[in-house]
Amino acid sequence: MAAVPHFTVRRRTLLHGGAAALALPLLGLARPLHAQPGAALASLRARRLQPGDTIALVNPSGAIYERMPYEIARENIEALGFKVREAPHLRARYGHFAGTAEQRASDINAMFADPGVQGILAVTGGSGGHRILPLIDYAAIRRTPKFLGGFSDLTALVNAVHARTGLITFHSPMGASEWNDFSVRHFRAMVMDAAPLLLSNPQDKEDALAPKANRITTLRGGRAQGPLVGGNLAVFSALAGSGHWPRLDGAILFLEDINEYIYRVDRMLGTLQLAGAFSRLAGVVLGAFTNCGPGDGNYGTLTLDEVFDDYFKPLGVPVYSGASFGHIRRKLTLPVGALAEIDADAGTLRVLQPPVA
């Protein structure tokens, strides 16, 4: 009999992704990667977004306890040139969730089915996205593919939808995120212009001789190609062994996290390793691990650099860290499932196919 999973509740910041993330490592339940549903599905692309399109705001994860984030999200989307539709249960609450699992899933299903909606964007993250995955109508999504975006706890939904339908989804800023010039330019280039794009960190030095921000570190050099999959480490590792995990054979895995002690980062990477996630990767890109430190009283802890070295250097594939995605101000938009090329020496990703039609 498999061991009973251990639940660990982690605090998260509402601004960057909500109230709490629930990690569920399934060490004893992992199946071979080749047995995952969706592994043989052909790539499916949504229609590119155009000015005047309607974007549905949904909240598949954590509750929002203030009114202002909804207003900020609406103003952001309108400033991007879109119309806004609020999903029926957008402002619902059930405990710390943004409504029951049934309410949240019904909003996703309804907005994909609504012919007047061209794209779907989460307002914020939080926790609880894993609860809605069994309730999503994946067959219907495959019939009516649309833009779907978000990050943090949305890692569960964007990866599950890609795994179960083949649809290219997006690890992108959310409605209530800070939509600065860098984030807006990359979002528009990815989901509106539909052009192959070089993804790299901001190049400004911020008036410093040796800038501290936007630096990349090459753990192992080289180039490789493969589909992009990943997102928030805590959420992605919680999908391990489930039917909602994307295909990892030959993939470029990208990971980020926030507010995790280093020993927890180590444990979650260990979950992925034991589940076979690292065995056939083409490359790895590590984004921001914001506020991930040793914690009080953790004598002699490994550094994040050492943890990353231990797990990723032995893989023999290109790996770099410090990419501009995650719980930071300026964010790249990454297409989950799109073919890309990693250049770990330059610290770049090049998207090789238009991620939208």
Task: Give the C-alpha separation, 56 to 209, whole Å.
Answer: 44
Domain shared by 250 and 326, yes or no: yes
Q: Has residue 340 been placed in a domain?
A: yes
Q: Is 152 a catalytic residue?
A: yes
Q: Is the pLDDT of residue 206 over 80?
A: no
Domain shared by 346 and 291, yes or no: yes
Structural domain ending residue among the three candidates 164, 193, 222: 193
Domain shared by 167 and 97, yes or no: yes
Residue 26 pLDDT: 30
Residue 142 pLDDT: 97
Q: Is the pLDDT of residue 16 over 80?
A: no
> Phi and psi (nearest 5°) for 186?
-75, -35
Task: Give the C-alpha separation, 282 to 317, whole Å.
Answer: 6
Residue of 152, 177, 242, 324 marked active site: 152
Residue 41 pLDDT: 64
Residue 118 is part of a domain; what is its CATH number? Answer: 3.40.50.10740
Structural domain ending residue among the three candidates 154, 173, 193: 193
Residue of 89, 183, 327, 341 marked active site: 327
Q: Answer with the residue of higher pLDDT: 80 or 10.
A: 80
Task: Give the C-alpha separation, 234 to 152, whole Å.
Answer: 9
| CB of 341 closer than 8 Å to CB of 223 | yes
Instruction: Give the DSSP letter of residue 192.
Output: I
Q: How many domains does the chain have?
A: 2
Domain shared by 187 and 210, yes or no: no
Q: Has residue 134 been placed in a domain?
A: yes
Q: Has residue 217 been placed in a domain?
A: yes
Structural domain ending residue among the three candidates 193, 228, 245: 193
Domain shared by 177 and 204, yes or no: no
Domain shared by 99 and 178, yes or no: yes
Domain shared by 116 and 222, yes or no: no
Domain shared by 58 and 187, yes or no: yes
Residue 241 is part of a domain; what is its CATH number? Answer: 3.50.30.60
Q: What domain range is 226 assigned to?
A: 197-295+303-351
Residue 208 pLDDT: 79
Residue 213 pLDDT: 86
Q: Has residue 42 been placed in a domain?
A: no
Task: Give the C-alpha separation, 288 to 331, whole Å.
Answer: 10
Domain shared by 224 and 316, yes or no: yes
Residue of 172, 256, 260, 341 marked active site: 256
Domain shared by 214 and 188, yes or no: no
Q: Has residue 221 been placed in a domain?
A: yes
Span 87-95, mean pLDDT?
98
Domain shared by 260 and 204, yes or no: yes
Q: Which residues of 77-94 are buried (b: 16+ CB within 10 A; e: fewer)?
A: beebebebbbbebbebbe
Q: Has residue 77 been placed in a domain?
A: yes
pLDDT tens-digit map of 108-135: 999 999 999 999 999 999 999 999 999 9
Percent of the chain with pLDDT over 70: 87
Q: Is 127 a catalytic residue?
A: no
Q: Has residue 3 been placed in a domain?
A: no
